[in-house]
Amino acid sequence: MRVSDRRVAQTFAQLADTLVERFDSVEFLHVLAERSVELLPVNAAGILLANDGGKLELVAASTHLARPLEELLSQSGDGPSEECFRSGQMVRCPDLRARPPRWSRFAAVAVPLGFAAVDAVPMRLRNEVIGSLTLFRMSPGALPAEAEALARSFSNVATISLFQARAASRAQPVAEQLQTTLSDRVLIEQAKGVLMERLEIEVADALSLMRNYARNTGQLLADVARQVTERSPEVAGLTRISKPRPRW
């Protein structure tokens, strides 16, 4: 089995984790975003979920471009992710530099960041759409059919995992389940800020530090973030853990 095939198999194996009680949805979505960049011909990936007001929020992004993606998706207001979410269909844009631009505000932010093409895959189960997996490329052109099929599969894995987590939590309503995930993401952002200030590190390093610590100690990422923001002595050893134990 080739390395890429093995990694694909490992990614899909995560669906089994949705059957356990302490499924870490935020960590799972971060892994999917990173694997999307690793296994697809894309330069960055972001996963967005709808909040209780029906507005998309970025929950996870591939690590090295997380901050530019967050700025892009928060400033544009309208774009491929929103169109994908509203329509429930995959949205493709092989050239963001085309004139006139398909999404003027989005393109005005995306192109200066170096992005030339984008695809958005709906996260949906039957008629219910809960978000989108958005893929960015720095070279124009259509996403190959094989890559598109894999991207759809990744999106399906993420969606089914979140729905399974809902079932495991005594049929918690989908909107409430998604809002919990979004709230966890806000907590994680706050904890990243605390670590950046305390340790004088970059935002990506702060997230990696918490993710590694959560894996090594068997905790949820949000629980570690809460301990960091509360300055709990329980995470005093966080800075001493540099490598995660294999989780998948």
Assess whether 88 and 187 both reside in one domain.
Answer: no
Assess whether 69 and 19 both reside in one domain.
Answer: yes
- The CATH number assigned to the domain holding 160 equals 3.30.450.40
Give the CA radius of gyration of the chain: 18
Please, which residues have CB within 8 angstroms of residue 196's CB and are 6 or more apart in sequence?
A: 202, 203, 206
Of 170, 191, 217, the position where a domain reaches its end is 170
192-226 core/surface letters (b: 16 or more CB in 10 A; e: else)? beebeeeeeeebbebbbbbbbbbbbeebbbbbbbb
Assess whether 146 and 192 both reside in one domain.
Answer: no
Please, which residues have CB within 8 angstroms of residue 227's CB and are 6 or more apart in sequence?
A: 234, 235
Assess whether 230 and 123 both reside in one domain.
Answer: no
Query: Is residue 57 in some structural domain?
Result: yes
Report the domain count for the chain. Answer: 2
pLDDT in tens, 154-199: 999 888 888 776 555 555 555 666 777 778 878 888 888 888 888 8
Query: Is residue 3 in some structural domain?
Result: no
Supply the pLDDT for residue 245: 43
Assess whether 63 and 149 both reside in one domain.
Answer: yes
Query: Is residue 92 in some structural domain?
Result: yes
Supply the pLDDT for residue 77: 63
Assess whether 101 and 142 both reside in one domain.
Answer: yes
- The CATH number assigned to the domain holding 230 equals 1.10.10
Assess whether 41 and 151 both reside in one domain.
Answer: yes
Assess whether 62 and 127 both reside in one domain.
Answer: yes
Distance CA 108, CA 87 (A): 23
Query: Is residue 127 in some structural domain?
Result: yes
Low-confidence residues of the chain, pLDDT below 70? 1-3, 14-22, 63-66, 74-77, 165-177, 237, 239-248
Supply the pLDDT for residue 46: 92
pLDDT in tens, 129-147: 999 999 999 999 999 999 9
Supply the pLDDT for residue 2: 53
Assess whether 144 and 39 both reside in one domain.
Answer: yes
**What domain range is 202 assigned to?**
183-240
Assess whether 117 and 213 both reside in one domain.
Answer: no
